[in-house]
Structure 1
């Protein structure tokens, strides 16, 4: 399921995650931690891989199109911001 979100909103969710959440998400989805960080706007493609986010310039850090929302939904649950 695709979703559009601003980059600032995506970073706000990441920044509100409790300690250890990136590791937990990585384990649950059988990904490297750097790959999960890349989902939230990181750019470490040596230790992580691309995860289906597409960024377009614009207000609020630009628009991010997420190809799959599973990581976002899990992060929102862990952060207590699930919609």
Structure 2
């Protein structure tokens, strides 16, 4: 489990190059919306919940991630472009 602020999680999502959400989703065989939900989205009509727990507070609150797979993939993609 990993804990970070919601703003930190959103900064990671915002740092991803175009097409990364789809690349992660395709790699994990989940919908694009499921990956977006992981980064704080809330479209559960087309995506699933993914083990993210939010607690309100400063910097957007605290996020606890049960599974870091999507986060790790996102960080790897960001590191590729550096």
Instruction: Provide the TM-score with structure 1 as the length reference.
Output: 0.93
Deviations 1:20-71 (A, max 9, x none): 0000000111100000000000000000010000000111100000000010
Gaps of at least 5 residues in structure 2 are: none
- The structure whose residues are more often helix, as a share, is 2
Partner of 1:60: 59
**Residue 45 of structure 1 aligns with which residue?**
44
Please give the alpha-carbon distance, in whole angstroms, between the structure 1 residues aligned to 2:22 and 2:36: 10
Structure 1: gaps of 5 or more residues: none
Corresponding residue for residue 26 of structure 1: 25
Q: Across the two proteins, how many residue pairs are aligned to each other?
A: 80
RMSD over aligned Cα atoms: 1.1
